[in-house]
Amino acid sequence: MERRRLGRTDLQVSALCLGTMTWGEQNTEAEAFAQIDRAKAAGVNFIDTAEMYPVPPRVETYTATERIIGNYFKRHGDRADWILASKIAGPGNGIDYIRGGQPRHNRAQLREALEGSLRRLQTDYLDLYQLHWPERSTNFFGRLGYRHAEQDFTPLEDTLEALDELVREGKIRHIGLSNETPWGTMTFLKLAEARGWPRAVSIQNPYNLLNRTFEIGLAEIAMREDCGLLAYSPLAFGMLSGKYEGGARPPQARLTLFSRFARYNNPQAQAACSRYVALAREHGLDPAQMALAFVTGQPFVTSNIIGATSLAQLESNLASPSLTLSDELITAIDAIHTAQPNPAP
């Protein structure tokens, strides 16, 4: 599998990254182990998790995903074969059980969160540690419109200085952002350059055929600043696979099980999705593989985070990098996007 440079580091990550947010909720530990084995055999060397996982977040399953990954490393002893990424949670998002219900990106909480992740993952270091979403009130998780609010949040300088300490201690190799805005990304990068603090090497934001908002502002930053996209939800919670077409709700599928995942399920998104699915089938392609190939092929994407609840789904996802989309197909995709731009931002 193709390897790509992570930011300006010496790390080479696979073009596909193994996502893990279903492990401990929709997937058992044994199923997660099988996914890791299969992904590794296919050439994947990059795995992404978070202290908050699995999703949907619940106090009963909090940290289960990291524990599963740690158990895998303990059993297989191959931690050094992987580029391992995790994330610290931010405030809000319905989470009232993490660090007293007031998660912050300050020095004390960054250390507490990181050390907890290291214990659960049974490792001494993370290759990439990411701020899961901004502490301040801004646009992420599908929020439209901007309403400026003066609020108390940890200054970005304090966050970056605290991360610098953890990098110097060898507990983190590199830092990354997630669900971040152009302003936040450039502020972190400028502070790093001015103060000699760690430079963000990636930004993990949503990107798929139903949500190409990353292309507006952030894509240029990703290219010019070598802060590439780690694309999450490349299949829009499975919508772009075609399995929900016609209102279908397959047993054990995410949108069947969890009503909270409505981001990609509004009427506009459903209509656009149907057009992409039909386009793939007209060209004799698997809709999911077409959607994944579109994301992986973007020049600002460092790695495409794939997630699966079955080995069959994972197998299909792992085959997607071999698909090259023709100019004709890209033109048709862009025509749908022009007619129905970003129906699920």
Instruction: Just list the catalytic residues.
Output: 53
User: Quick one: which H or E segment has residue 176?
Assistant: strand 172-178
* Residues β-bridged to residue 110: none
| Contact (CB, 8 A) for 315 and 34 | no
| Contact (CB, 8 A) for 113 and 88 | yes
What is the rounded distance in angstroms from the CA atom of residue 302 to the CA atom of residue 4? 6
Residues 6 or more apart from 328 whose CB is under 8 A from it?
Answer: none
List helix spans (H) across the chain: 29-41, 64-76, 107-121, 156-168, 182-195, 218-224, 254-257, 267-282, 287-296, 311-319, 327-339
Q: What is the Rg, in whole angstroms, of the alpha carbon atoms belonging to the chain?
A: 19
Burial code of 102-122, b = ≥16 C-beta within 10 A, e = fewer?
ebbbbbebbeebbebbbebbb
Task: Tell which residue, 8, 21, 26, 74, has the closest CA to residue 51.
Answer: 21
* Residues β-bridged to residue 85: 48, 128
Task: Tell which residue, 299, 300, 302, 290, has the closest CA to residue 330.
Answer: 290
* Residues β-bridged to residue 126: 172
- Triad 129, 293, 24: Cα angle to 5°: 45
